[in-house]
Structure 1
Amino acid sequence: MQQSTTRRTLHYYWQVTRKHKGLFWGLIVSTFLFVALLSYGNPYVMSLVVDRVSEGGVGPDEVFSAYGPYIVALIAINVFGQAASKFQDYTLYKLEIAAAYDLATMSFDALCNQSMSFHSNRFGGTLVSQTSKFMSAYQQLIETIMFPFLPVMCSVIFTCGILAPRVPVYVAILMALLAVYATVSYIMYKRILSLNEKAASAQNQLSGELSDSVSNILAVKTYGREDYERGLFDAANREVVARDSKRMWASLTRGIITASITVVIMSVVAVFIAGGNAWYGITPGTLVMMFTYTYTVTNQFNFINNGLQRFNRAFGDASGMTTTLDEPRLVADVAGAPDLQVREGAIDFEGIGFSYGDGDAKTQVFDDFELHIPAGQRVGLVGLSGAGKTTLTKLLLRLSDIQQGCILLDGQNIAQCTQQSLRRQIAYVPQESLLFHRSVAENISYGKPGASMVEIREAAARANALEFIERLPQGFETQVGERGVKLSGGQRQRIAIARAILADCPVLVLDEATSALDSESEALVQDALATLMKGRTCIVVAHRLSTVASLDRIVVIDSGKVAEDGPHEQLIAAGGEYANLWNRQTGAYLE
């Protein structure tokens, strides 16, 4: 499972990287040149200098003639090496900036295009944390490849290429020891990878617990549950500590083993350098190269431990968002779907079958459900909790997809049209107003980008919101706080209605839009809703029957079926379920 997730992470990262192949290959070439020139070019020229010095016979007036070419070579190597180093920095920064943009866009699109069922089963804070880690993991991965790993490959290539013709036995022994080192590191890397994913999962859970508590801080405080929430957070925090500790000990164990191999390698080079001239006639310059190159390559291999640890952490951090990106979209547009065109607003639910699942459990909500709403008709949906009223509106908005049947809007199957075009034809006002931490004006104009202030003010006036907005500290420029926390419930709802008025959609869905308001706020909101409903096809979900009594038609839903259908007076006279609900709410049974 871990390897599969790692491969999928690499797949997504490569999708982004190949869009910037010029930067990527420029980074590789500059790294190759940087290592070749500064780590291997300098010692090579110095070995030639040492051999020339050991030959003797150079007088004071012959220094520049004898060593001039070496001096020029060293200067050129360092000039071009430093230039390669700076170009490496440039391409790395540019690639990371470009990739961060693409990864953020990829994650945002994936989250925004997922169904409401997906979001209902996840912490918002966890998804934010996963996105952030997914982006930073790419940066960590690229930097790890370009600094420990690519230089290691270069070091092995250059060490073999330069020393093998001169001391083949030494190179063979060195490569064998390095192969053991690399094999041990890789085996332990695979073992630690699962520990990193578990540690990242624990960290995501901790972020989710924190987000959940902070988002619902009013409930925490008003019920005196600070200690309980702290207990949940502490349990998640302790799990993070436990998993991080396991990862730490595994990494330390790997470091001790590989450090022991490094000691063996340096012991071999010490023996060869000490006896190289006596046993094999190796020149002083070559001995200098042997020590310098071996020290360089073993140092680079030492960085492999840190690099593999960073690899582990990067893949572990990225695993959460990788899994999210792999999630199938429960609600998706068909290929080449056209935009929905609505002129009148007639709605037809034909043979609807829908069930939702929680794990392996399935709950049937609708089975062969039928309902026709003519254009311009105002329809109330009533019934007991769990009857399917709100679910029906979500199916109309395609927040979830039906399993059988079809929903038609002006004769067009909404499943065959783009979701965005569908939702732009439906103004939705829920029980809890959906406000952003932005200005009042931005919130009202959300359904009509580019609306003028004249249009915004007119919509606010029609929603009975203009008076209170103008009393706010900065009027329409006042920031409303997260989810509109700076405003009262009635004020938030009137802003949501102003948004719906400005959007001017042919279809209106009101889902318990006044149930949480006090009497005064409800009266203002009801008046605004009456304005909003004029000339539109309206679906009003309500438990408070007084809000639907004046509508053209009332549909009673019971266990996913239409139990009663007709105007208020007709349903009262029928003495059925609607009449019973009405009598309970109006106190008729108290007599």
Structure 2
Amino acid sequence: MSAVASGAAGAGAAGRRPSLTRRTIHYYWQATRRHLGLFVLLIATTVGFCGLLSYGNPYVMSLIVDRVSAEPVAADEVLAAFGPSIAALIAINAGGLACSKLQDYAFWKLQIAVNYDLATMAFDALSNQSMTFHSNRFGGTLVSQTTKFINGYTQMINNLTFPFLPVICSVVFTCALLAPVVPLYTAVLMALLAVYGVISYVMYKRILHLNEKAAGAQNQLSGELSDAVTNILAVKTYGREDYERGLFDRANREVVARDSQRMRASLARGIITAAITLVIMSVVTVFIAGGNAWFGITPGTVVIMFTYTYTVTNQFNFINQGLQRFNQAFGEASGMTAVLDEPRLVADAPGARPLVVECGDIEFKGLSFWYSDGGARTQVFDDFNLRIPAGQRVGLVGMSGAGKTTLTKLLLRLADIQEGEILVDGQNVADITQQSLRRQIAYVPQEALLFHRTIAENIAYGRPDATEGEIREAARQANALEFIEALPQGFATVTGERGVKLSGGQRQRIAIARAMLADAPILVLDEATSALDSESEAAVQEALGRLMAGRTSIVVAHRLSTVASLDRIVVLDHGRIVEDGPHAELVERNGEYAGLWSRQTGAYLG
């Protein structure tokens, strides 16, 4: 990312900062309220644990101290005098420990359940976004943002459980128990704590944007790493390790700079709040030292004054760390929050129905489409019309940029047209569900799209319920069976990321086997043989011939030999049809297609 783009992104993040935090909380709450019982249990047990152990125990001890200081207790009167207090202490500790264990259960159960929902939410958002969305982003950055979004919830719940709920409990319990006994002291203490809380919150708001910038820098670093690793073959074959290391180092230094800014701001906040803590403890020392003389405070009250004040002050000390973790959580989650807020560029219409294909007739009717990138508009099609009868095999040819691949992507609704209609058996693709549309179209691109899974799983991807025999037959028809069986693990061979363990021809034949097994009525081949050697191309062409039989087929090709035997060839030029007909007829016309054919065959013969 350029400095200008980086700055613009930073400015945009700064402008959306409060909204992003609120939106993050919105998504977290959406997932939490599905498990509201666990959330309520977590809050209740945290309050019970804090109230019983931190405030119940000292209160009972203060009663014991007052009783002991009032008059001596004989040995035979101990149980009578202190029996109720002893029973109360046992009950308080038993209840507190029970709350502690229930708190652990609620915390883990809630975290596991909500993390599942958040992961599903992020996956659905990413998988249902358009190809335009994905082409403008690093895949590694999206993975990193998803992980941070989920981890951010864990941090938030952890912070809520400790220290923020205990802080609220400590303030409430301290007021409730001390205000009736030492109202002046309670008022002064609460005023100082209010100052502490306000200063912490103001500094929290100031530091929030530093956390978002630090998270953005970390995401950029993840993107650089992912880009270099994904394209490691290009890095090595061009000897550009040092160049990529420079890009990575620059992103890494930006992470260090942003983290250092965040560290300095957090330390400054910590020093200020520590000074307020010192003032609070000084006040309590004065009150405790002179409390009995000035206000007639009993020894037991002195005990709970010190204990409660120390507890609430100690809890407030953790607010700094808690706010820092909140900052970090919301900052790191902001990337995925922005993604979740992104409108879907291609979305199913309300009430969209499944596509039903009986014949496979395709019609592009009055189609207009343009790209908008950075405010610039690039027109691709303007009032474009083309009909492909069911079962016809049509080749799309033309110079680069003519709109061939774009047309197939519009058919698949990987992008949406601005005007006109695309009809499949008379059904407008804008009115049907995207999944049902794509399940009726077998798509074989130039670069085979293989998962880091077994060959069998890759072939069966379009039809997961296929039997072993059906997978094997699809591989045979795709001319892939021989090389698959020659592999040490056969169909159980893991292909590697994007199929790197296989050759280009082998990957392409597996992609064709996948299309054969899917058995869709419509077939789209996008430069399916352009990157293959002659021997691999011959095997793939033979397999493609079988695949196209009986199907409405659209074949995008630069190599005209790929489309010469098709029923019909459509020549595109800047989004317009300039020629349309069978190969022999187009060659005889001596037009655009004949010129392309002459150049290719002439170069081949020479």
Shorter chain as normaliser: what TM range? Answer: over 0.9
How much is the aligned-residue C-alpha RMSD, in angstroms?
Answer: 0.9
Query: SS state of the match for residue 443, structure 1?
Result: helix
Which residue of the partner structure matches residue 453 of structure 2? 438
Aligned counterparts of 1:473 and 1:35: Cα–Cα separation in 2 = 62
Aligned counterparts of 1:567 and 1:590: Cα–Cα separation in 2 = 23
For 1:13-57, what per-residue CA distance to the aligned partner results, in whole angstroms no more than 9, with x for missing partners?
000000000000000000010011000000000000110110123
Which residue of the partner structure matches residue 444 of structure 2? 429
- Work out whether 1:104 is the aligned partner of 2:119: yes
Aligned counterparts of 1:337 and 1:329: Cα–Cα separation in 2 = 15
Q: Of residues 236, 244, 249 in structure 2, which corresponds to 1:234?
A: 249
Which residue of the partner structure matches residue 492 of structure 1? 507
- Work out whether 1:78 is the aligned partner of 2:59: no
Which residue of the partner structure matches residue 179 of structure 1? 194
- Work out whether 1:369 is the aligned partner of 2:384: yes
In the TM superposition, 1:278-357 aligns within 5 A as 278-357=293-372
Give the ranges of 4+ consecutive aligned residues of structure 1 lying more than 4 Å apart after TM superposition.
588-591
- Work out whether 1:58 is the aligned partner of 2:73: yes
Aligned counterparts of 1:450 and 1:418: Cα–Cα separation in 2 = 22
For 1:430-472, what per-residue CA distance to the aligned partner results, in whole angstroms no more than 9, with x for missing partners?
0000000111110001111110011011100000000000011
| % same residue | 75
For 1:273-306, what per-residue CA distance to the aligned partner results, in whole angstroms no more than 9, with x for missing partners?
0000001110000001000000000001001000
Supply the AA of the counterpart residue of 1:205: Q
Which residue of the partner structure matches residue 583 of structure 1? 598
How many pairs align? 591
Question: Under a length normalisation based on structure 1, what TM-score does the superposition of the two structures give?
Answer: 0.99
For 1:311-343, what per-residue CA distance to the aligned partner results, in whole angstroms no more than 9, with x for missing partners?
000000100000000000000001111100001
Which residue of the partner structure matches residue 527 of structure 1? 542
Which residue of the partner structure matches residue 564 of structure 1? 579
Aligned counterparts of 1:422 and 1:201: Cα–Cα separation in 2 = 37
Shift of the alpha carbon at 1:373? 0.5
Shift of the alpha carbon at 1:68? 1.3
For 1:90-129, what per-residue CA distance to the aligned partner results, in whole angstroms no more than 9, with x for missing partners?
0000000000100000000000000000000000000000
Supply the AA of the counterpart residue of 1:260: A
Aligned counterparts of 1:536 and 1:360: Cα–Cα separation in 2 = 40
Aligned counterparts of 2:476 and 2:605: Cα–Cα separation in 1 = 41
Query: SS state of the match for residue 572, structure 2?
Result: strand
Supply the AA of the counterpart residue of 1:290: M
Alignment check: 8 A CA contact 1:382 1:554 kept: yes
For 1:120-159, what per-residue CA distance to the aligned partner results, in whole angstroms no more than 9, with x for missing partners?
0000000000000000100100110111101101000000
- Work out whether 1:405 is the aligned partner of 2:420: yes
Which residue of the partner structure matches residue 84 of structure 2? 69
Aligned counterparts of 1:473 and 1:132: Cα–Cα separation in 2 = 36
In the TM superposition, 1:221-300 aligns within 5 A as 221-300=236-315
Aligned counterparts of 2:573 and 2:501: Cα–Cα separation in 1 = 38
Shift of the alpha carbon at 1:559? 0.5
Q: Of residues 553, 561, 580 in structure 1, which corresponds to 2:568?
A: 553
Which residue of the partner structure matches residue 157 of structure 2? 142
Query: SS state of the match for residue 587, structure 1?
Result: helix
Which residue of the partner structure matches residue 34 of structure 2? 19
Question: Under a length normalisation based on structure 2, what TM-score does the superposition of the two structures give?
Answer: 0.97
Query: SS state of the match for residue 372, structure 1?
Result: strand
Unpaired segments of 5 or more residues in structure 1? none
Alignment check: 8 A CA contact 1:583 1:589 kept: no
Query: SS state of the match for residue 584, structure 2?
Result: helix
Aligned counterparts of 1:569 and 1:31: Cα–Cα separation in 2 = 82
Which residue of the partner structure matches residue 460 of structure 1? 475
Q: Of residues 144, 147, 155 in structure 2, which corresponds to 1:132?
A: 147
Shift of the alpha carbon at 1:590? 8.6
Supply the AA of the counterpart residue of 1:360: G
- Work out whether 1:450 is the aligned partner of 2:456: no
Which residue of the partner structure matches residue 496 of structure 2? 481
Over 3 Å counting, the alpha-carbon distance change for 1:589 and 1:87 in structure 2 is closer
Alignment check: 8 A CA contact 1:189 1:312 kept: yes
For 1:418-438, what per-residue CA distance to the aligned partner results, in whole angstroms no more than 9, with x for missing partners?
000000000000000000011
Q: Of residues 555, 570, 581 in structure 2, which corresponds to 1:540?
A: 555
Over 3 Å counting, the alpha-carbon distance change for 1:62 and 1:383 in structure 2 is same
For 1:177-207, what per-residue CA distance to the aligned partner results, in whole angstroms no more than 9, with x for missing partners?
0000000000000000000000001000100
